[in-house]
């Protein structure tokens, strides 16, 4: 077998993830024909057909699907080797692509990420803020801040806050006008502020209260696909929101929001996630060490929170 070019391997991996030569070309700053030529060269060197091409679609062959994880492992091993050779304490260089939810990223993580980048001037930081869950297998993302459980894909996680929770909150002004719910069932009589994700409105809230899991079917006063807007509506007295402690901690401490039902809610752990353990580069490990104590300090002393073990990297399966 001829020598495989690493650039061709990278372009094959990204084409498989993105589903087209043109998307991979845009990401790499190349022409689609150059990416197609690189994949064709790799196919000749491997003596394998990696993709089935039609005028409208591009998909992996059975041989391509079997080969892809090996290509990804090679690329990950090279990145890990470079990071290890440079050492954990060396100046960080290159590009770190980070994805985070909108509210958490904009209002909590942004100043910390800016400070982290300032401490490592050789590092380029690309930040993607969106409430659409980043697919770290397909999108050009090195690491993602992920709240809650994972979807059916298998990820490797660095735990940040195992004890974070989702809680019910409302502004004092709203509670003065409409009263304070005394039980989960009473939520149906209140205006609730609902969050949309992927076209689905989350109007059935799972709440752990008095040792039992309850489901509250709530009615919408307002709903939005931006979690930050939901929090702002709550502060403005528009209704009751069901939010992460990380998002509302400052508003609760500042008296702009009150926690309802004694902090009843559900677990909403925060992790840093990557597809493979080998992708936990020096930059990602240092980012984890930088933000974790700041996140823990943000929740310290809030009601209904017990310090949880902040473990090492784990592999997990489950629903988001």
| Residues 220-261: tens digit of each pLDDT | 879 898 888 999 999 999 999 999 999 999 999 999 999 999
pLDDT at res. 135: 52
Residue 202 reports pLDDT greater than 70: yes
Residue 313 reports pLDDT greater than 50: no
The domain made up of 6-85 has a fold known as Arc Repressor Mutant, subunit A (1.10.10)
Percent above pLDDT 90 for the chain: 28
Domain boundaries, the chain: 6-85, 87-164+269-316, 165-267
150-176 average pLDDT score = 83
The domain made up of 165-267 has a fold known as D-Maltodextrin-Binding Protein; domain 2 (3.40.190)
CB-CB contact of 117 with 309 (8 Å): no
Which of the four pLDDT bands, split at 50, 70 and 90, describes residue 310?
very low
Sequence-ordered alpha helix ranges (H) in the chain:
6-18, 21-28, 32-46, 62-86, 102-104, 110-119, 172-178, 227-235, 245-253, 282-299
**Helical pair 6-18 and 21-28, crossing angle rounded to 10 deg:** 120
Nearest 10 degrees: Cα torsion 157, 198, 23, 68? 40
User: H/E/C letters for each residue in 207-251?
Assistant: EEECCEEEEEECEEEEEECCHHHHHHHHHCCCCEEEEEHHHHHHH
| Residues 142-156: tens digit of each pLDDT | 888 988 865 545 567
CATH 3.40.190.10 is right for the domain spanning 87-164+269-316: yes
Same fold, 6-85 and 165-267: no
Q: Chain-wide mean pLDDT for the chain?
A: 82
Percentage helix, strand, coil for the chain under 3-state DSSP, each rounded to 5: 40, 25, 30
**Helical pair 62-86 and 6-18, crossing angle rounded to 10 deg:** 120
């Amino acid at each position: 077998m001829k020598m495989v070019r690493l650039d061709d391997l990278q372009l094959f991996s990204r084409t498989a993830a993105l589903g087209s030569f043109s998307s991979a070309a845009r990401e790499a700053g190349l022409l689609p024909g150059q990416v197609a030529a690189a994949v064709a060269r790799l196919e000749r060197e491997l003596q394998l057909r990696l993709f089935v091409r039609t005028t409208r679609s591009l998909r992996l062959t059975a041989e391509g699907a079997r080969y892809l994880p090996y290509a990804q492992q090679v690329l990950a091993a090279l990145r890990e080797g470079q990071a290890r050779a440079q050492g954990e304490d060396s100046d960080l260089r290159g590009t770190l692509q980070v994805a985070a939810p909108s509210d958490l990223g904009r209002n909590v993580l942004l100043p910390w990420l800016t400070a982290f980048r300032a401490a490592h001037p050789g590092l380029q930081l690309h930040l993607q803020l969106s409430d659409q869950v980043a697919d770290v297998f397909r999108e050009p993302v090195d690491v993602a801040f992920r709240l809650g459980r994972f979807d059916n894909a298998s990820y490797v996680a660095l735990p940040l806050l195992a004890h974070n929770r989702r809680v019910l909150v409302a502004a004092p002004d709203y509670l003065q006008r409409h009263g304070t719910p005394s039980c989960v069932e009473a939520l149906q009589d209140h205006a609730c502020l609902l969050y949309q994700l992927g076209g689905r409105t989350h109007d059935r809230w799972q709440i752990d209260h008095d040792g039992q899991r309850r489901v509250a079917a709530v009615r919408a006063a307002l709903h939005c696909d931006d979690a930050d807007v939901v929090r702002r509506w709550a502060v403005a007295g528009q209704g009751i929101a069901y939010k992460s402690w990380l998002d509302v901690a400052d508003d609760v401490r500042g008296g702009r929001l009150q926690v309802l039902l004694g902090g009843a809610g559900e677990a909403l752990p925060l992790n840093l996630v990557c597809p493979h353990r080998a992708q936990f580069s020096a930059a990602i490990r240092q980012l984890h060490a930088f933000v974790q104590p700041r996140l823990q300090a943000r929740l310290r002393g809030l009601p209904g929170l017990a310090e949880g073990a902040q473990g090492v990297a784990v592999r997990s399966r489950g629903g988001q």
